[in-house]
Structure formats: structure tokens, C-alpha cells
Chains A and B, each alone.
Chain A
Amino acid sequence: MDPVIETHDLTKRYGPALAVDRLTFTVRPGCVTGFLGPNGAGKSTTLRMIIGLNTPTGGSVTVQGTRFRDHPRGLRHVGALLDASDVHGGRSAAAHLGVLARTNAIPLRRVAEVLDEVGLADAARRRIGGFSLGMRQRLGIAAALLGDPPVLLFDEPLNGLDPEGVRWIRGLFRRLAAEGRTVLVSSHLMSEMENTADRLIVIGRGRLIADEPLSAFAARGTGAGVRVRTPDVPALARAVTAAGAAARPDGQDALLVTGLSKDRIGDLAFEHGLRLHELVVNSASLESAFMELTADSVEYPAGDQR
């Protein structure tokens, strides 16, 4: 399937600071793409350049082959939630969406439809000023859905949502992708992406670090693999290495094995008559892969690292 969002050497410079540095990637339809990076990595700047709010210093970005700003009206082409606080507190939720619908000649019944979809139907007539952050996120998502667009951008959409909201939003992204839409979701937390995205675009200090399926990304981390606890570490190490896997000690009585599945390691131990006390897939692998890859590109590290 053809790529929908394409950036080529996309660059944004603010004075001496390089916010986005020759970024080239593509986003394809039909799956949820996670856009990941530490704080200040240039995610929001990139999203703003995609929808023409910021002009690139160099390079180009197109959506479905067109510069977004060349569309007279935008909501039918790209729906975006950039910042849930980008609203005027004095308007009601219905009025906020009503303004947007009118400018794009979208039938006003869509306002009630999307408010219903995000669970804000009861709050439609209430002033946005009194909304919680979670409600504002839902309103922002409603605005993005208003024009039924084929491309959707969400900047940190999970901020401020309760667990029920997080589950709902993951289901929503999945459904939007299954409908053939292009869904790009940014986050600075790997854990948020773990159950949300199919592909990952990882950036750090404005540069592309990775652009690959989530599973490939997870395999990069040194923490990836299966953790096996056994009283006879050397024997197990010999057994799994002989089967083609890599193993390294993980503490006193455990091994971290990569290249073999959990079941296969269990079978091997059985065949060699080895006792196992623990056999578990290392679930922190995504987070550690992310941390390791972006360690060099954290903009504001805590402590005295630099």
C-alpha cells in the first residue's frame, strides 16, 4: 500500500537550535504507527509541519502526495489532536466543534455524532473551561474525527486519561487503522506504545533513530529475551548455546537467553535434565530498547550525565 505521510530530509531550525534534523520517514495506512522520542526530540514540531502549522526550514513533507497547506479546508483530509488545551474555555463543547464543522461545510449532525463517539454527549452544552484534562483529550479526538478523515495525528493522546480511557482510545486507534486509515500517535513513553502501535518511528534530538515494526524494535534492546533461573547456570548456558541461542548471565542464578522461544528453552532444559526455577519473557524489553537507543539523545537528562 502506498505511503500516506512522507517526509524527506525534513528540517526545522529555531535560531541556532535544530529541532528536526533531516528527518526522512513514511507512514502507511492500515496500521497504528507510534511516533516515539524523549521530551524535546522534535515530535510535536514534526507533527505541526505535517499539517502546515510550522513551515520547514528545509526538506519536504506531504500527505497523500500533497502539501497539506495546499488544501483550502483541512478536516476532511487530516484530523489532528495536537494539544488538548488548544481550545477556548468560554465555549461549550458543541460550540467548539460547531465552529469547526461550519468552516469545513461538515453537516452539523456530525457534531453530535462525534461527541457521542468519544463519550461526551452529556457534556455537549457545558463550557470547556470546566473540563478535566481527560475530557479535553476526548474533545480533541472528537474534533479530529469530525471530518471523517483518512489520516489522523495524535500528539500524546493518552495524557490525562484514566485506565478506562486508555483502553477505549487503544480500541479506537485499532478500529481507525482497521478501517484503512493512517494513524500516527506520538508519545514519550514506550510503555504507552506497547499495546497501541504496530510500527514505530523513533526519533531523538530531531534525528531518526528507528523506523520498523514494534517486534523488530523490541529485539534491539539488550534486555530482550527470556530470563531463566536455574541452580546450574553453566549447564543451561551450554545447552542453549548449542541450540544456536545467545545467553548471558543475569544475576547470580539466572540467564538471559535470546534467539529461542520460552517453550523451546523449557524443552531443552527437560532434555538435558536441568531444573528450572523460573522461565519468563522479559517484558521490560521494549522500554529498555527505547532507553538504550535514545540514551545519547535525551535533551534534558536528570543528574550529572553531561
Chain B
Amino acid sequence: MTALDSASAIAPAERPPVQGPPPHARDLLAGEWFKLWSMRSMRWGFLLAAVGVVVLNFDAALADVQNWSQYPAAMRAQFRPFGSFGDVFTNNAGITELLVAGTLGAMTLVGEYASGLARVTFAAVPDRRALMAAKIAVLTAVMLGFGVVVTGTSFWLGQAVLAGKHVGISITQAGIWQGLAAAALLPTVSALVGLGLAAVIRHSAATIVATVTVLLLIPNFMTDHHHWSACLYHATPFRAFQVLYQLTPTQANPNLQYPAHPGGEWWVYLLWPLVSAVLALVLVDRRDL
């Protein structure tokens, strides 16, 4: 057998011990950043979502300006600042961000599990927790940037249109920051919830269904009428966003028996992504691939 003969003839050289550079978190951040942007579908996803959300918001302001002459005088007089602020970021834009960011966030992780790429990734980086932390950091940064740009552009475009009827508000409007912050954070919150569900479920279709259910369907099914229902309703990120997206100080609806309060809703809004991130960090180390 020639294979055997040639192998025994060669004296293998002694290989020196491996001398790699010390591990840096920035390498993992660079890898995860490149992983996100090297995918054409991700770049298109972000671009189309940004355009879609801005158009939805712009359209709301445009509709108000076009219908202005038909509005009753009392409504016109009270339009500023509440109506003007409402046009900055509409509920439909919120639903869109919820779905798009939630899905993109879930796909960044479940895409790896479903394709098997996770095995290659974790064989390259056995320190799985450090890699997951980098993934979460990159996703958070990208979604924060996306949220700030989309909210900022929506504000600027919408108020420019409303200025035609002299009902635009400026960034110095009193009580504006809570609502703008909530809108800017919505993609981050949604994406991290999607990522957390992906870490638990690890199956593409089921993760997407779960993400849509938690982010959109459950809040849609719940009401403020019963105590248990109101509790569940107020504990969803989407309802938290709706409560927080108001000019402060907010006024509780006197007709509601169980109104939501912004203080508690901030906890809801921030705990969802936080718990999701912790869950992903804990689970990634404990499961086989």
C-alpha cells in the first residue's frame, strides 16, 4: 500500500505550540458587524424598513395638511402640540418597526442556528458568551442608530409639512423627549425581544411566530377592561410604547378603570430587552449544537 509507505517515510516536523494574539472583544464586534452587513438581505431590510416607516409618518402629516380645511375650528385650534406630535411617529409606523426589527433581531441569531452556521461560529469562538455579548452589542448599536435616524427624519419631515399650516412643533417643545426616546428605542426593544426568543426556540418558523405573537398579537388581543387583562396588556412592549409615546406630563384616561402609568411602563419597556439579552447569554453556554 503506497499510502502507508509514503507516510512512514516522512518524518513529521515537530509543530511549535500555538501562539495567537490575545483575545479581544473588538475582534468579535468586528466579526459580528461584518456578519450583519455582508448580507445583502440585511442591508435591503434596513433600507426598506427605514423608508417605509418614514413614509408612513410623512403621510400622516401630509393627510392632516391636505384635510386641514375640513377640520372643525376647535380641532384646528387644539392641533398644536398634541396632533403635531402624533404625526411625528404614528401607531402604524410603530407596528411596522415592531415587526421588522423584531424579525431582523430574531434572524440574526436563529438564522445561525437554523443554517448550522452556529456550529462553525462557536467552533471558531468557543467562548460563546463573549460572542453572544458582541452580537447583542452590535444589534443594539445598529437598532439604536436605525431608531434615532428614522425618528429624527420623521420628525423633521413631518413638522416641515405641518409648518405649512403653522402647526409644526420644534425639538424644544416642552415634554417632547419621553415620546421621542420611546420611538427611537422601539427598534432596539423589538430586536432584542426577537433575539431572546430565538435563543430559547432556535427554530426559524417558530421563532418568527413567537416574535409576532409576543410583540403584536398579544397586545392586540388584550384590553383595559379586566384587571388580569390590563396587567398583561400593560406588560407588553407595544403597549408600553403607546403609553410612553405622549407629550409629558401625560394625562391618564379618566374613563379607564385600570390605567397604565409611564413610570411602570418604562420598566416594562426596558426589562423586556434586558431579560431577553440575559436569557440569550445564559442559554448559549448551556446547550448542545
Chain A contacts to B: CB under 8 angstroms: 1, 29-32, 48, 51-55, 64, 68-78, 80, 82-83, 85-92, 95, 98-100, 102-105, 143, 147, 149-150, 174, 177-181, 194-198, 213-215
Contacts and interface: CB of A to CB of B under 8 A. Distances in A.
B160 interface: no
Contact of B14 (A149, A177, A180): A180
A105 B130 CA distance: 15
Interface of B: 1, 3-4, 6-8, 10-15, 17-18, 20-21, 23-24, 27-28, 30-32, 34-35, 38-41, 111-112, 115-117, 119-127, 130-131, 288-289
Nearest to B42: A90
Where chain A touches its partner, the secondary structure class is loop
Contacts of A213: 4
The interface centre, meaning the residue of B15, B130, B131 with most chain A CB atoms within 10 A of its CB, is B15
A91 B20 contact: no
A95 B7 contact: no
A198 B115 CA distance: 34
B117 A87 contact: yes
B1 A102 contact: no
Contacts of B24: 105
A198 B7 contact: yes
Contacts of B39: 88, 90-91, 95
A208 B18 CA distance: 30
Contacts of B4: 198, 213-215
A74 B124 contact: yes
B288 A103 contact: no
Given A103-B131, A105-B27, 6 more contacts: A48-B119, A53-B288, A71-B126, A76-B18, A91-B38, A105-B23
Contact of A102 (B20, B30, B41): B30
Contacts of A76: 18, 20
B45 to A, nearest CB: 11
Nearest to A106: B20
26 contacts: A31-B12, A52-B122, A68-B126, A70-B126, A72-B23, A72-B126, A73-B27, A73-B126, A74-B126, A83-B119, A86-B116, A87-B116, A89-B115, A90-B41, A95-B38, A99-B38, A103-B32, A103-B125, A105-B21, A174-B6, A174-B7, A180-B14, A196-B3, A197-B3, A198-B4, A214-B4
Contacts of B23: 72-73, 105
Nearest to A30: B12
B111 A75 contact: no
Ordered nearest first, which 3 A-B pairs have the shortest CB separation?
A: A30-B12, A86-B116, A103-B31
Contact of B288 (A55, A89, A100): A55
The interface centre, meaning the residue of A55, A70, A100 with most chain B CB atoms within 10 A of its CB, is A100
Nearest to A69: B126
A301 B131 CA distance: 42
B119 A29 contact: no
A149 B131 CA distance: 21
A82 B119 contact: yes
Contacts of B40: 90
Where chain B touches its partner, the secondary structure class is helix
Nearest to B38: A95
A156 B1 CA distance: 22
Contact of B1 (A30, A52, A72, A215): A215
B231 to A, nearest CB: 38
B120 to A, nearest CB: 5
Given A83-B116, A174-B7, A74 B125 contact: yes
A31 B3 CA distance: 10
B12 A177 contact: yes
A51 B41 CA distance: 31
Contacts of A80: 123
A158 B17 CA distance: 29
B7 A32 contact: yes
A31 B125 CA distance: 27
B289 A74 contact: no
Contacts of B122: 52-53
Contacts of B6: 174
Contacts of A91: 38-39
Contacts of A68: 126
Contacts of B35: 99
Given A103-B131, A177-B7, A198-B3, A77 B18 contact: yes
Contacts of B17: 64
A71 B13 CA distance: 24
A54 B15 CA distance: 28
B125 A104 contact: yes
B117 A86 contact: yes
A102 B34 contact: yes
Contacts of A83: 116, 119
A194 B115 CA distance: 32
Contacts of B15: 29, 150, 179-181
Given A48-B289, A54-B289, A88 B117 contact: yes
Contacts of B288: 48, 53-55
The interface centre, meaning the residue of A86, A90, A194, A197 with most chain B CB atoms within 10 A of its CB, is A86
